[in-house]
Structure 1
Amino acid sequence: MNSHHEENLKTYLKAHIPAAEHMSFNQSCHSVADAADAANASPEEFVKNVCMIGSNGDFIVAIVHGTDRASTSRVGKALGTERPRLATAEEILEKTGYPCGGTPSFGYNATFLIDPRVAEIQSVITGGGSECSLVRVKTNEMLHANNGRIVRVRK
C-alpha cells in the first residue's frame, strides 16, 4: 500500500480543501465498480481522472463522470491542439506524485478539463492517493482547487 501518497494528499487537503473527506479501505478502488463497492456508494457519485500527455508534453487531466469515457479527440479540440495520448502509469506517478488508480482531481500541475456532467453533481468521489483510498469533495471546491475548465470531454 502506498500510504505516503495518501499522507501527502491528506496534507494537501488539510491546507486547501479542509471540508473534503479522505476515506481509506482494505480493498482496491482502482475501478469505479470496485470504488463504489468499497465506499458503499453509487457509480454516479464518482469521477474518473483520465491522464493524458499533449503533443508538447503538457500533462492534461480529463475529469469525467464515473460512468463516462474520456475522448482524446474532444480534449485536443478543446485545447486547440493535436489529439493527446493516454499517459502511462509511470508518467502519471511522475507528473502527479500519485499512482494510477489513486490519482486525485487536484493537487498537482496539470491542465484540468472537467466535463459538464461532472459540474452538475453537488459532490463527487475521486482518487484518494492510493488504489485503496478515495476523497469525497464538493464539486465547486474541486473546481476551485484545480482551476479547471468546464468543457465537454466525454465520448
Structure 2
Amino acid sequence: MSTHDGTAAHPRFAEALRELGLDVPVRRFPEATRTAVQAAAAIGCGVGEIVKSLIFQADGVPVLVLMDGSSRVDVERVREELGAGAVKRADAELVRETTGYAIGGVPPFGHATRTRVLADRGLLDHEVVWAAAGTPHAVFPLDPATLIAHAGGTLVDVRERLA
C-alpha cells in the first residue's frame, strides 16, 4: 500500500523538487525502503530500477555515486575515474553532513552541499528508475537521463564487473 503525497518527501528534498520545477509523484511506504531490495519489493519493480545514491570519500573529499540497485560500486574504478589516491565508503556522519540526509533515504540531488557526482552508465538501461526522496520510506520515479542531469552527474562505468 503506497500513498501519493507530496508531503511524503523530506522537506528539504520537496523544496529541491520545487526549485527544479520537477513534478514527480513521491510514493510513501509504511515499510522501510532503505535497501534496494526493500524498495523494489515495495514498488513492484526490478532491483536494477532502483537508484542507490552512495557517498564515498576520495582522498577525504565526498563524492556521490549513483548506481543501480542490482550492482555494486567498484571503488577501484571510482578511484581511477577521479584520479584519486584512495577511495572508501563514507561513514554515516559524513553522509549526513554532506547530503543533509541519513543513509537509506539519500536522494540523488537536493543535497546540503555540492559534490562531484558520478553516475553509472548502467542506469540508462532503464526507462524509469526509482530513487529515495529524502527518507527511508519515500521514493520517486524519473527517467534516468533527467535524474542524472539534475544530479549534475558525469556518466562513467564504475560498477563491479561480474567475474
TM-score by length of 2: 0.86
2:99 to 72, 88, 96: 96
1:48 aligns with 2:88: no
Aligned residues between the structures? 152
CA distance in 2, matches of 1:17, 1:48: 23
CA distance in 2, matches of 1:134, 1:4: 9
Match of 2:16 in 1: 12
Indicate if the aligned counterparts of 1:20 and 1:138 stay in contact, CA closer than 8 A: no
Q: Which runs of 4+ in 1 moved over 4 A?
A: none
CA distance in 2, matches of 1:131, 1:110: 21
Identity %: 23
Match of 1:119 in 2: 124
Match of 2:155 in 1: 150
Secondary structure at 2:26 match in 1: strand
CA distance in 2, matches of 1:88, 1:95: 11
Structure 1 unmatched ranges of 5 or more: none
TM-score by length of 1: 0.90
**RMSD of equivalent CA atoms:** 1.7
Equivalent runs, 1:37-116 vs 2, <5 Å: 37-55=41-59, 57-108=60-111, 109-116=114-121
Shift of 1:146: 1.4
